[in-house]
Chains A and B, each alone.
Chain A
Amino acid sequence: MRHDGYDDLLDAIEEGNGFYLACPEDHGSLPPRRVCPECGSRELAEAPLPDSGEVVAATTVSVAGPQFADDAPYVTAIIDFGPVRLTGLVRDVDGEPDPGTVVGVGVAETVTTGDRVVAFRPR
């Protein structure tokens, strides 16, 4: 099933043109969104997602739900890109990356279902 807005973001990241939604007050958020959750502005415009971000926190998940059963164990992390943060899998790392580790963003497929997922790799 396609989720308009969010899948548009994944398409854009795959093409190297990641974006986020910015309001006139420069608050960032992710699609789908009609209102800035910080200030309530409805004037949202696409702005380019920074090329790299820093790890805020990471964990290795060993007990997964059915959507990720064959992926476990896997590393998932929250990454700070400045205006927005994204959550996704971290690939090509041994263990969890330390906070502050710089990563780039891409899109990968899960082992279990083949669904697209936000994926980060060290820069």
Chain B
Amino acid sequence: MTNVRIAGTGLTPFGEHSGRTGRDLFAEAGLDAVDGAGVDPADVDRLYYGNFMGELAEHQGHQGPLVAEAVGTTAPATRVEAACASGGVAVREGVEAIRSGTADVVLVGGAERMTDMGTEGATDGLSIAADDLYEIGAGITFPGAYALMASAYVEANDVDADDLAHVAVKNHGNALPNEKAHFRSEITIEDAVEAPRVATPLGLYDACPISDGAAAVVLVSEDYAEANDVEAPVSVTGTGQGGDRLALQDRDSLWRTPAAEDAAAEAYADAGIESSDVDCAEVHDCFTIAEVLATEALGFFEPGEGLAAARDGRTARDGDLPVNLSGGLKAKGHPVGATGVAQIAELTELLAGEHARSDAVENASVGVAHNAGGTVATATVHVLQAEDAEVDA
């Protein structure tokens, strides 16, 4: 089975791009990735594209060939939809296409255009990741669903919901030098705790913004990289995906995410690593509680101990396991279909020493990306390793 290398990355700034289409956003990111990789677009064998709400936001379906055309290829192109994990699943499809030997060069990307929908429209659009009959019709919004998970976490573990503010403050701080981030402003614990509640116990600063943006990465086989002198020092060495019941009411626990636990176990086994080998992680912090649950599902902390770990600075830039050095969804932004791909792009740059926050993880060799769909009914985990990395399996 061939090694899958990351040859190029591309990101638009995440934020408001009113008036720009998804295809244009993706063209910017996709062409950056292809140009950076030094790959001829004609060499692209496949394209996998994450997008969640194109029909609602842009009245546009069948986006695979549309975005392929936008970057100058007619390679077979498939749109991947898995709610907020659309990008992560697209990456997994790309990795597996190369591993299977059916492709040497895969352009993986994603984009979402959300801000033109307005807060009410985007809230409605995001909600359709939940169960329409059992949840949406009962008034569940995306923040509302995570608020129920946060409430259950607080109740089960006898912890203080105000401590979630530490996650928000950390990720805003991490995003400060990230030129692609939606929010580049510091906030304080008081700002977060005293902000208006969106859905109790979650407030305005517990939630990621509504963002426009696109991301892309070029994956190549090791053979292709060597034959074409493509410089690609970071590889995807592990991939995993897990699933769960769609509606929160049907889960055994409201505050555990077994889909992510399963995805992590599969990805770690695939890469031959343990959670203790991980140097840094980009996790799906659409809400502050989501980052806490992610760090537990990834095995960094025991169930129920992730919030205390965040409060104590263990996931901070100078902590023993920096999480979301990019700013995460919370501050970098969350254009849904782009998010899972953007995590791979940011991690690649972190491990290559080319990221604005690489100094926080000098000599890092192993990074993990965790991407969650809905209330984690879908989850993907990918392990990235820098070339020459030595890991005790």
Contacts and interface: CB of A to CB of B under 8 A. Distances in A.
Interface of A: 3, 6, 29-30, 37, 56-69, 71, 74, 76-78, 84-89, 96, 99, 110, 115, 117-118
Given A65-B124, A96-B200, A58 B139 contact: no
A64 B118 CA distance: 12
Interface string B119-162: 11101100100000111111111011001110110010000000
Contact of B139 (A57, A68, A84): A68
A97 to B, nearest CB: 11
22 contacts: A37-B250, A59-B151, A59-B199, A59-B201, A59-B202, A60-B199, A60-B200, A61-B147, A62-B199, A63-B199, A65-B120, A65-B127, A65-B136, A65-B141, A66-B120, A66-B121, A76-B140, A78-B148, A87-B134, A87-B138, A88-B139, A89-B138
B152 A57 contact: yes
The residue among A56, A76, A88 with the most chain B CB atoms within 10 A of its own CB is A76
Contacts, number: 102
A117 B155 CA distance: 27
Nearest to B200: A60
B140 A30 contact: no
B197 interface: yes
B337 to A, nearest CB: 20
A115 B137 contact: yes
B144 A61 contact: yes
B215 interface: no
Nearest to B127: A65
Interface stretch (B183-191, B241-249, B265-273): B241-249
Contacts of A57: 148-149, 151-152, 155, 254
B139 A62 contact: no
Contacts of A59: 144, 147-148, 151, 199-202
A6 B182 CA distance: 41
A89 B121 CA distance: 21
Contacts of A117: 137-139
Contacts of A6: 133
B106 to A, nearest CB: 34
A86 B137 CA distance: 12
Contact of A87 (B124, B143, B245, B248): B248
B249 A76 contact: no
A77 B250 CA distance: 13
B391 interface: no
Interface residues of B, number: 36
Contact of A64 (B139, B148, B245): B139
Contacts of A64: 120, 123, 139, 141
A74 B202 CA distance: 15
B389 interface: no
Q: Nearest 3 pairs between A and B by C-beta?
A: A65-B124, A59-B147, A85-B249
Given A61-B144, A65-B124, A87-B248, 6 more contacts: A56-B254, A61-B139, A61-B198, A63-B141, A65-B127, A89-B138
Given A37-B245, A62-B196, A88 B254 contact: no
A89 B138 CA distance: 6
Contacts of B123: 63-65
B139 A3 contact: no
B121 A87 contact: no
A96 B151 CA distance: 11
Contacts of A110: 139
B138 A30 contact: no
Contacts of A115: 137
A73 to B, nearest CB: 9
Contact of B140 (A37, A71, A87): A87
A90 to B, nearest CB: 10
Interface string B289-317: 00000000000000000000000000000
B200 A86 contact: no
